Amino acid sequence: MSPPPAGSTIVSFEEARRVVEQQAELIRASRIQAGETESVDLLAAAGRVLSERVIADRDLPPFPRSTRDGFAVRSTDLSALPATLEVIGEIKAGERLDRIPASIASGQAASIMTGAPVPTGADAVVMVEYTVARKHRVEITKSVAPGENIVARGAEAREGVLLLDCGFRLNPAAIALAASVGKSRLPVYKRPRVAVLTTGDEIVDVDATPGPTQIRNSNSFSLAAQIQQAGAEPVLLPIAPDELHGLCPLIAKGLKSDLLLLTGGVSMGCYDLVEQALAEMRAEFFFTGAKIQPGRPVVFGRCVVETCGAGTPAGESSATYFFGLPGNPVSTMVTFELFVRPMLKALSGQAPRNLVFLHARLKKEIRTRTGLQRFLPAILSGEFDQAEVELVAWQGSGDIAATARANCYIVIPPDRERMAAGEWVAVMKNDC
Q: Which residues bind Mg ion (CB under 5 A)?
A: 200, 264-265, 327
Cβ 325 to ligand AMP shortest distance, Å: 8
Whether residue 90 contacts residue 138, with contact meaning beta carbons closer than 8 Å, is answered with no
Residue 382 CA to residue 397 CA, distance in Å, equals 26
200 binds ligand AMP (CB under 6 A): yes
Query: Quick one: what does residue 320 bind among ligand AMP, Mg ion, none, with the CB cut-off 5 to 8 Å set by partner type?
Result: none
Cβ 302 to ligand AMP shortest distance, Å: 21
70 binds ligand AMP (CB under 6 A): no
Contact pick of 192, 231, 327, 342 for ligand AMP (by CB under 6 A): 327
234 binds ligand AMP (CB under 6 A): no
Query: Quick one: what does residue 275 bind among Mg ion, ligand AMP, none, with the CB cut-off 5 to 8 Å set by partner type?
Result: none
- Side-chain-facing half-sphere of 263: CA atoms under 13 Å: 29
Stretch that binds ligand AMP, among 109-117, 184-192, 199-207, 353-361 (CB under 6 A): 199-207
Name the residue nearer to ligand AMP (CB basis): 211 or 311. 211
Name the residue nearer to ligand AMP (CB basis): 130 or 221. 221
254 binds ligand AMP (CB under 6 A): no
Nearest alpha carbon to residue 275 among 287, 266, 286: 266
Name the residue nearer to ligand AMP (CB basis): 192 or 324. 324
Produce one character per residue of 228-267: b if its CB has 16 or more CB atoms within 10 Å, e if not.
Answer: eebbbebbbbebbbbeeebbbebbebbbebbbbbbbbbbb
Name the residue nearer to Mg ion (CB basis): 264 or 324. 264
Contact pick of 234, 265, 295, 377 for ligand AMP (by CB under 6 A): 265
Output 382-387 pairs: Cβ under 8 A, ≥24 positions apart: 387/358, 387/359, 387/360, 387/361
Stretch that binds ligand AMP, among 172-180, 266-274, 357-365, 368-376 (CB under 6 A): 266-274
Which H/E stretch holds residue 333?
helix 329-335
In angstroms, what is the C-alpha Rg of the chain? 30
Contact pick of 231, 264, 289, 342 for ligand AMP (by CB under 6 A): 264
Cβ 332 to Mg ion shortest distance, Å: 12
Note the residue count of the chain.
432
3-state helix, strand, coil in the chain (%, to 5): 25, 30, 45
Q: Bridge-partner residues for 188, per DSSP?
A: 38, 50
Cβ 173 to ligand AMP shortest distance, Å: 37
Whether residue 277 contacts residue 243, with contact meaning beta carbons closer than 8 Å, is answered with no
219 binds ligand AMP (CB under 6 A): yes
Name the residue nearer to ligand AMP (CB basis): 12 or 267. 267
217 binds ligand AMP (CB under 6 A): yes
Cβ 268 to Mg ion shortest distance, Å: 11
105 binds ligand AMP (CB under 6 A): no
Contact pick of 89, 241, 246, 398 for ligand AMP (by CB under 6 A): 398
Q: Bridge-partner residues for 37, per DSSP?
A: 189
Stretch that binds ligand AMP, among 123-131, 213-221, 252-260, 415-423 (CB under 6 A): 213-221
**DSSP per-residue string spanning 153-180:** TTSSB-TT-EEE-TT-B--HHHHHHHHH
Mention every residue, 6+ apart, whose C-beta is less than 8 A from residue 361.
387, 388, 389, 422, 423, 424, 425
Cβ 290 to Mg ion shortest distance, Å: 19
Stretch that binds ligand AMP, among 19-27, 138-146, 180-188, 218-226 (CB under 6 A): 218-226
Stretch that binds ligand AMP, among 5-13, 52-60, 80-88, 215-223 (CB under 6 A): 215-223
Cβ 338 to ligand AMP shortest distance, Å: 17
Cβ 221 to Mg ion shortest distance, Å: 17
HEC assignment per residue over 346-406 = HHCCCCCCCCCCEEEEECCCEECCCCCEEEEEEEEECCHHHCEEEECCCCCCCCHHHHHHC
Residue 140 has a CB neighbour count (10 Å cut-off) of: 22
Cβ 214 to ligand AMP shortest distance, Å: 9
Q: Is the dihedral of CA 110, 113, 117, 118 positive or negative?
A: positive
Query: Quick one: what does residue 326 bind among Mg ion, ligand AMP, none, with the CB cut-off 5 to 8 Å set by partner type?
Result: ligand AMP
Q: What are residue 35's phi and psi, to 5 degrees?
A: 55, 45
329 binds ligand AMP (CB under 6 A): yes
User: Which residues of the shown chain bind ligand AMP in the complex (CB under 6 A)?
Assistant: 198, 200, 202-203, 215, 217-220, 263-267, 269, 272, 326-329, 398
